Every structure is written in C-alpha cells, then in structure tokens.
Amino acid sequence: MAQIIDWLQTERTIQRGELYLCDLPAERGSVQSKYRPVIILQNNTGNRHSPTTLIAPLTRQNKPLPTHVHLREGIAGLLYDSHVLCEQIRTIDKSCLAKYIGKIDFDTEEFRNIEKSILISLGFK
C-alpha cells in the first residue's frame, strides 16, 4: 500500500472525475469513513498544485435523496452499483488515496447529475 501512495504522491496527477479507493479518516455521526470509493471533485489546476483534494464519498446504500447520484456497476470500473453522496463533500489529503478505480468523463449524464446534486447540496439550485 505504501508503494501505491508514494506513486500517487510523486508520479500521478489526479484529475477531476476520477474514482479512487480511499482510506477516509474516522468521523463522528453519519459522515462516511473507512476504506471506500470516492470521486475527485476538485478542478485539475488545484489537483496539480495542492497536497489536498476535494472529494465526495460513494456508498452502496440506496437512499432516494436529491443529493445522491446513482452510478451503475461497471461505470468507471465500479464493482457494484454505488451512490455518490454529494452532501458529504470534503477536503482530504491526497495521501488518503489508495488505488485508482477509473474515471467518469465530464460529458456523461452521470457527471452532469453529480454537478446538479452538488448545486442542490450547496443551495445554489
């Protein structure tokens, strides 16, 4: 695992829309933690220059909320149907990223739905 993290920190520039397995720090209450998939939300300029990045965690639990976006199994390498929790956006240190899963292209319906759900979560829509 340390070799993967070293590679991520020195060789790989993460990009918006990419999915990673991530070791999310423990939080209190209903905030997602532990080892789980996340999607990178931060813009690529920030990703190139910052030791941190902005993410949203994924879960397999389906709750019909306007801030959750369904991603089908197989999209961007996901092994299970998953849901992006757009109400749980947070900043993490890139060292928490453990393994690249895949990427969701910007021009897909899934990515547009994530953007819409973020706007809803932040009260801009």
Per-residue pLDDT tens for 90-125? 999 999 999 999 999 999 999 999 999 999 999 997
Question: Domains in the chain: how many in total?
Answer: 1
- pTM for the predicted model, two decimal places: 0.85
Residue 70: what pLDDT? 97
Give the pLDDT score at 122: 94
Quote the CA–CA distance of 69 and 80 in Å, as a whole number: 14
Per-residue pLDDT at 34: 78
Task: Give the number of other CB atoms < 10 A from CB of residue 77.
Answer: 13
Q: Can you give the CATH number for the domain in which 109 is found?
A: 2.30.30.110
Q: What is residue 110's predicted lDDT score, i.e. its pLDDT?
A: 96
The pLDDT of residue 57 is above 60:
yes
pLDDT at residue 2 is higher than 90: no
Left (φ > 0), alpha (ψ -120 to 50) or beta: where does 34 sit?
Answer: left
Number of neighbouring beta carbons within 10 Å of residue 50 = 13
At 26 the pLDDT is: 66
Phi, psi for 77 (deg, rounded to 5): 85, 10
How many other CB atoms are found less than 10 A from the CB of residue 69? 25
Instruction: Give the whole-angstrom CA distance, residue 37 versus residue 10.
Output: 21
pLDDT digits (tens, 9 = 90+) for 9-50: 556 789 999 999 998 876 655 555 578 999 999 999 999 999
Mean predicted confidence (pLDDT) in 64-88: 95
Q: Which domain holds residue 30?
A: 2-122
